[in-house]
Structures are given as C-alpha cells and as structure tokens.
Amino acid sequence: MKYPILILITMICFCHISCKSPRQNKETSITPRIETVPASKDFIVNKRGDNIELVTKTEEEWKKTLSAEEFYVIRNKGTERAFSGDLWDNKQEGLYTCAACGQVLFLSSAKYDSGTGWPSFFRPDDELMIKKETDHKIGYPRTEVMCARCGGHLGHVFDDGPPPTGLRYCLNSVSLNFVKSDN
C-alpha cells in the first residue's frame, strides 16, 4: 500500500508545480487587447468623414450600364476628341458628377476655359474622391485621374493650370454628368 500513496503524493506535487509554471504566469499577464474597427475595403472616407460605398462591377456589368462611348472612355481609358464633348464650353453653375457612379467630383466654381476643348478644372471638389496614377500610354509619364469610388477614367492632371493651384484637370465630357444648381 505504500507505493500507491507515494505515487499519489508525487502526482499532487507535480500538478502543483506545473500550475505555477512560468508559461501560466505569462498567459495571465497579457495586457488586454484594444479593439479597433478595421477599415472596410468596401468604403472610402470623404473629406467630411463620411463613409462612401465603393462601386465595383465586372467589365461585363459596366458594358450593360454604360453607352459604347462611355465604356470606351471610362473603362478603357479612352479620350474623346477635343471640342466634341458637351461640357467643355459649359459655363452654367452646378456640379459635375461621375457619369459611371454618380459621385460628385468637380464644381463649376473651379472650372475654367483652358482652350483645349476639354472640360478643365483647377481642383476637384474633394481630393479624397479622386484617384491618381502615372500612365505612360503616349511615351512620357502623365498623371491619370480617376473616380476614387468606381475607378472610372476621367482624364489627366497637368501642372500648367491657373491659380490658386496651378493645376489643370483635363477631363472627358463623356466621363462627367452635369447637375445644374437650383439658384
């Protein structure tokens, strides 16, 4: 009978030691995790801090919702002929929205006559709603301008614009819809 009691005592001692092992102590001393809200890949935040839902469609889906000319310019990054669009000479007050997703992108107060035959602006309504990328399509680097919400091609931005920014956002009329202001 002596041996089973000895085994039992050994087991109790072992359990007591392992319960106080450094690993256990380390686990109980972990600092509480701070819960953060992860940034969603389906939203972008505008300058006012609003969440703007991204518009994502397959090229086949875009083909169904855009005209052939819109699809060529907006999705295939084409360029309309100078002086051919309906907005280059528009002097009315209002908003210019993305023709593909409806996002407000430019205001008439930043539009000016660049003489190029394409609607030109010296700044967007909200920088955060504009996406820029370098393209080398015609042999030298240009900065392509896209709608940040749907990825639609708008045109290019150049540094030969008027004050106060010195920038010229040279856009396609096809990529924009004009919404006349009420007053």
Q: What is the binding site for Zn ion (CB under 5 A)?
A: 98, 100-101, 103, 147, 149-150, 152
Minimum CB–partner distance for residue 129 and Zn ion (Å): 8
Annotation says 19 is catalytic = no
Between 73 and 101, CB nearer to Zn ion: 101
- Identify which of residues 48 and 91 has a Cβ nearer to Zn ion in the complex: 48
Q: Which of 101, 147, 150, 170 is catalytic?
A: 170
Which residue pairs, CB below 8 angstroms and at least 24 apart, start in 109-114? 112/161, 112/162, 113/89, 114/161, 114/168, 114/170
- In sequence order, what DSSP letters do the residues of the chain get, joined into one string? -HHHHHHHHHHHHHHHHHHT-HHHHHHHTPPPPPP--PPPTTEEE-TTS-EEE-----HHHHHHHS-HHHIIIIIS---PPTT-SSSTT----EEEEETTT--EEEEGGGEE--SSSS-EESS-S-GGGEEEEEE-TTSS-EEEEEETTT--EEEEEES---TTTT-EEEE-GGGEEEEE---
Shorter beta-carbon distance to Zn ion: residue 150 or 170? 150
Distance of closest approach, residue 163 Cβ to Zn ion, in angstroms: 28
Residue 152 or 155: the one with the smaller Cβ distance to Zn ion is 152
Provide the minimum distance between the beta carbon of 154 and Zn ion in the complex, in angstroms, as a whole number.
Answer: 8
Q: How far is the CB of 125 from Zn ion (least distance, A)?
A: 13
Catalytic positions: 170
